[in-house]
């Protein structure tokens, strides 16, 4: 087992997931975990994650120096790299920032960097640097702006890398983690095989004979979660709320999906007018999410009360929450930075006096899809792109109106259809259109126009924690742009977003 000590990085769980991919079980613990507790877990290796703080700050997150004296191999990543250096007497200072792809030059052969090329692309995200190493520690690699990009104390089996080997933009990062597992002599005996049965059994153990009510969207997460819970109990009531912020034909498609999957208790609510009424005049992104979340709770709560009155045994709220939802909406540790509020997290269970059951809460999207396949859910349903809970409201930048939703709904539909026609829908993690809150001058039919701008965005990713912009063919983009401008009244200009995550997010608000 590899123990990951979490210092609040937004991608800490990616480390755990990469380690599991390599066949070794991994767990995360908070940085306040006592050294005695860490020792009792008998890890074969310890990884210190990144984090948003500086090691020299007052009250900065730290570990007991005793962790480094347990005789267990240690790998520090980013903040963890700096913390190990700081605790062992090396110098860490504020420096020029490195953010994004960098080319790293390997200066010395090592167990950690075995099999790497002389120059490697790595992903940096830091504003502090290790500048001087204490005797006993050797410099392994540098970048143009970071002298100590990697170091090692080989006899003590202590290593540090300033970059993030866990993210896909460090091209050979998985090899570095694999090398560390070899250093640890870790047992490769972890497998996710049979996880569906285990999750269903855990849900059954929690639910017992009680009933479950669950909101569904038709997306992959809620679909797979509902299927798991149904394996635990047939006493599950699904509620679909049409908030008026859905994609074209979405509501009817969801009805059809759950009917074909033979879910017995499916309840449809059209609350589109209520949502639009409450969103009137709201422009700030977080406020939009809160309005949508609160309205959803009001609508869902009324239906839940009705069902509980009719079926007195409903005591649980099922949710399709997956790990990226939680890490971006609820701080995964005391030191993590909040990115955005997520509509599935917080408020609802307490208000309704329901206990939660979240079978997918520790899984990533690709793992959820793999789980769905093992349960016989069709590829067509599993390969649907993620769609946010607040829907098109966070893709209409500024105030949400019916007119803007109609424009965006059509533009989004055209873009997705072109991706499918050109064979790029399955090659992208997520694709979307967004309506910008500005208008531009154009000429259509020899007449001057003053219309909205649509931004198209398509990204590639394996888990949504990081993402790169999709290199779509010019012919596809040209066809999508032409069809949108020709067929969507109110639009005269189309842009393509080529920003990575980070620094951007996949969605616009």
The residues annotated with a catalytic role in the active site are 78, 164, 166
Contact criterion met (CB below 8 Å) for 419 and 458: yes
For residue 19, give both structure tokens: 């380690």
Question: ∠ CA 410-435-498 to the nearest 5 degrees?
Answer: 105
Cis ω on the peptide bond leading into residue 172 (within 30° of 0)?
no
Task: In whole angstroms, give the CA distance from residue 237 to residue 224.
Answer: 15
Half-sphere CA count of 204, side-chain side, radius 13 A: 13
Contact criterion met (CB below 8 Å) for 151 and 85: yes
The secondary structure of 296-352 as a DSSP string is HHHHHHHHHHHHHHHSTTEEEEE----HHHHHHHS-SSTTPPP----TTSSSHHHHH
Which of 191, 160, 231, 225 has the alpha carbon at shortest distance from 372?
225
Which of 287, 281, 301 has the alpha carbon at shortest distance from 241?
301
Task: In whole angstroms, give the CA distance from residue 374 to residue 395.
Answer: 33
Name residues whose C-beta falls within 8 Å of residue 91's C-beta, 6 or more positions apart in sequence. Answer: 85, 130, 131, 132
The alpha helices in 375-508, defined as continuous H runs, are 379-382, 402-421, 474-487
Of all helices (H) and strands (E), which one includes residue 401? none
Question: ∠ CA 121-20-53 to the nearest 5 degrees?
Answer: 60
Q: Please report, for the chain, how many H helices and E strands are present, in that order.
A: 15, 18
Task: In whole angstroms, give the CA distance from residue 203 to residue 216.
Answer: 17
For residue 36, give both structure tokens: 């005695």
For residue 138, give both structure tokens: 């050797």
Contact criterion met (CB below 8 Å) for 83 and 43: no
Provide the b/e sequence for 469-484 (b: ≥16 CB within 10 Å).
bbebeeebbebbbebb
The secondary structure of 225-262 as a DSSP string is HHHHHHHH-S-EEEEEEE-S-PPTTHHHHHHHHHHHTT
């Amino acid at each position: 087992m590899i123990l990951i000590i979490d210092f609040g990085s937004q991608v800490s769980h990616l480390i755990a997931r990469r380690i599991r991919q390599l066949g070794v079980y991994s767990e995360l613990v908070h940085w306040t975990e006592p050294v005695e507790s860490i020792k009792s877990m008998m890890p074969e290796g310890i990884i210190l994650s990144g984090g948003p703080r500086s090691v020299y700050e007052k009250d900065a997150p730290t570990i007991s120096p005793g962790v480094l004296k347990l005789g267990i191999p240690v790998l520090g990543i980013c903040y963890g790299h700096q913390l190990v250096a700081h605790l062992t007497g090396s110098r860490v200072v504020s420096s020029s920032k490195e953010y994004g792809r960098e080319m790293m030059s390997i200066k010395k052969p090592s167990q950690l960097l075995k099999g790497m090329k002389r120059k490697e692309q790595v992903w940096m995200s830091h504003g502090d640097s290790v500048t001087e190493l204490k005797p006993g520690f050797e410099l392994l690699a540098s970048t143009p702006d970071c002298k100590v990009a990697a170091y090692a104390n080989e006899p003590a089996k202590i290593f540090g890398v300033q970059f993030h080997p866990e993210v896909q933009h460090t091209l050979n990062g998985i090899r570095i983690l694999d090398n560390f597992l070899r250093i640890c002599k870790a047992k490769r005996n972890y497998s996710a095989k049979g996880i569906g049965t285990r999750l269903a059994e855990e849900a059954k153990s929690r639910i017992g004979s009680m009933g479950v009510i669950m909101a569904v969207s038709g997306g992959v997460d809620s679909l797979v979660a509902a299927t798991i819970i149904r394996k635990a109990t047939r006493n599950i009531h699904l509620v679909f709320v049409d908030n008026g912020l859905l994609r074209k034909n979405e509501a009817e498609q969801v009805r059809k999906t759950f009917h074909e999957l033979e879910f017995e208790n499916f309840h449809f609510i059209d609350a589109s007018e209520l949502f639009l009424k409450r969103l009137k005049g709201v422009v700030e992104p977080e406020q939009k999410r809160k309005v949508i979340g609160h309205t959803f709770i009001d609508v869902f709560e009324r239906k839940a009360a009705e069902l509980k009155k009719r079926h007195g045994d409903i005591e649980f709220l099922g949710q399709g929450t997956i790990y990226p939802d939680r890490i971006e909406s609820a701080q995964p540790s005391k030191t993590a930075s909040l990115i955005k509020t997520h509509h599935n997290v917080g408020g609802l269970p307490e208000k309704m006096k329901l206990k939660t059951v979240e079978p997918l809460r520790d899984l990533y999207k690709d793992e959820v899809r793999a789980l769905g396949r093992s349960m016989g859910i069709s590829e067509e349903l599993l390969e649907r792109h993620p769609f946010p809970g607040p829907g098109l409201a966070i893709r209409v930048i500024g105030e949400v109106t019916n007119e803007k939703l109609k424009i965006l709904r059509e533009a989004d539909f055209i873009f997705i259809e072109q991706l499918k026609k050109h064979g790029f829908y399955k090659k992208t993690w997520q694709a979307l259109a967004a309506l910008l809150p500005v208008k531009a001058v154009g000429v259509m039919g020899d007449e001057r126009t003053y219309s909205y701008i649509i931004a198209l965005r398509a990204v590639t990713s394996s888990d949504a924690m990081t993402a790169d912009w999709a290199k779509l063919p010019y012919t596809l983009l040209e066809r999508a742009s032409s069809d949108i401008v020709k067929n969507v009244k109110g639009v005269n200009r189309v842009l393509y977003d080529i920003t990575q995550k980070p620094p951007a997010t996949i969605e616009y608000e």
